Structure formats: structure tokens, C-alpha cells
Amino acid sequence: MARNKYPEETKNLIIDTASKLFIENGYEHTSIQDIIEHLGGLSKGAIYHHFKSKEEIMMAVAEKLYSNSSAQMYKIRERKDLNGRQKLEEVFRISIFAMEQKNMFSAAPDMMKNPQLLVIFLKDVVQKEAAQFFTELLEEGVADGSVSLEYPKETAEVLMLLGNVWMNPMIYGCSPQEMIGKAKFYQHLLKLLNLDNIVSDSMISRLEEFADIYQKTQKEG
């Protein structure tokens, strides 16, 4: 009954409950039944009314976790006191130092063991507005002279794929030390594209920390 009268509240309850369980126990070790048992009387039908699978719940959890940092990024895009390059630097900083990143890597699944989730994630990376967002920042930088690039759209797409797929331990499993190597290569690539200082050494340390969190989560499983 609750899901019929208050569908949005029910959906948010499912997401919040699943998020807590994913972070505490890991995605792999949280079942739909576990979520049901923590929903205070809601049925399995209530879950499947809103989500077709556990994979869809995970993507909704990720979207909610990142909603705050996403809002900050869009505010940066609208700022008039920053040029395109400065906006790019701020967006990278927020995306890496966002508090929710730790929770995400604690909850995160091994996507290579979850092909459906991998497909959903890749679809988001390729088709959603993130690449367009970065393209616009690079094009703004080219227009105001703070960025020197011949192919801003293609650059944005490649940087997105490298950052979200190749450097993502949920897809390309890697140790903290291997993450440092990848991050330094990414930093070097940005320098070759005249985008040096976009990724700082402190950001690389943060990425190493994420890889360590994820590796420990998988070992505990």
C-alpha cells in the first residue's frame, strides 16, 4: 500500500536501505532478500515495482551518492569568475575529493562479475551528459585562450573513458601501486595535451586510497 500512496518515498527508502547495506557488507554480499528484511515490512513486489534488478538499485545508489558533487560541478560551470581551464581544474578536484567516493568504493561491486551492471555503467559513461559537460568546459577554455586543443570533443571522450573505465578498479582490477602508475600516466597525458596541473599529486594519493579501499573490500568478501 505504501508504494502506491507514496511511490517516491518508497523508492528513496529502498535506495537508502540498499546504500547502507552495500557500504556495510559490499554489493556482492547483499541480496534482494537482505534489502527486503531491512525495509520494515515492504514486500519484494514493492522493490520490483521500482527496480527491475539489484543492478538497477546499485546504479540508483551511485546516482544518489554523487548527486551533491554533481550539483557542485554544474554550479562551477556557470561561474563567471573562472575561465574554462580553471573550471576544469575545479571539476576534477571535486570529482576526486568528494566525500561520497569512499562510500562508493566500499559498496562497489566487481563489474567483471556483473556484466549487466557493467553494461549499465558503460552506457552511462558513453551516452549521458558527462562527456558533453567536459566538452563544453574544454571548448570554453579554447574560446577564452586558457586551453590549447585541436579536438576538444574527442579529448573529453578519451579522458572520460580512461578516467571512468581504465582507471576504475571495479572494472580494471588494480592494486594501489598500480593505480599510482595509471594516475601518473593520466597526469602525463594531460601534460602532453597542455592540460598540466589538472591532476595534482594529492589527487593521485587520493586515487591510491580508493584503490586500497576497494581492494580491501574485495578481500573481505
CATH number at residue 17: 1.10.10.60
Q: 172 with 90, same domain?
A: yes
Other beta carbons less than 10 A from residue 172's beta carbon: 14
**Nearest-angstrom CA–CA distance, 147 and 18:** 42
Indicate which CATH number applies to the domain containing 112: 1.10.357
pLDDT computed for residue 166 by the predictor: 93
User: What is the grid cell recorded at 166?
Assistant: 581504465
Q: 216 with 183, same domain?
A: yes
pLDDT computed for residue 2 by the predictor: 42
pLDDT computed for residue 138 by the predictor: 97
What letter does residue 163 receive in the DSSP assignment?
A: I
pLDDT of 15 higher than 80: yes
Q: 127 with 195, same domain?
A: yes
**Nearest-angstrom CA–CA distance, 156 and 162:** 10
pLDDT of 1 higher than 70: no
**Nearest-angstrom CA–CA distance, 189 and 196:** 9
Q: 118 with 87, same domain?
A: yes
Q: Are 120 and 61 a contacting pair, CB within 8 Å?
A: no
Q: How many domains does the chain have?
A: 2
Q: 13 with 75, same domain?
A: no
Q: 94 with 72, same domain?
A: yes
- Looking at the whole model, is its pTM more than 0.85? no
131 pLDDT band, cuts 50/70/90, is confident
Among the ranges given (7-16, 40-49, 86-95, 177-186), the one the predictor scored with the smallest mean pLDDT: 40-49
**Nearest-angstrom CA–CA distance, 147 and 113:** 40
Environment class of 1 (CB within 10 Å of its CB; exposed 0-12, middle 13-18, buried 19+): exposed
Distance of CA 63 to the CA centre of its chain: 8
Residue type, 180: I
Containing structural domain, residue 76: 66-220
Helix, strand or coil, per DSSP, at residue 213: helix
6 pLDDT band, cuts 50/70/90, is low
**Given the C-alpha cell 515495482, which residue does it identify?**
49
Closest C-alpha to 52, from 128, 117, 118 = 117
pLDDT of 36 higher than 80: yes
34 pLDDT band, cuts 50/70/90, is very high
pLDDT of 189 higher than 50: yes
Q: 43 with 92, same domain?
A: no
Q: Are 54 and 32 a contacting pair, CB within 8 Å?
A: yes
What digits encode the pLDDT tens for the residues 141-182? 999 999 999 999 999 999 989 998 899 888 888 899 999 999
Q: 141 with 208, same domain?
A: yes
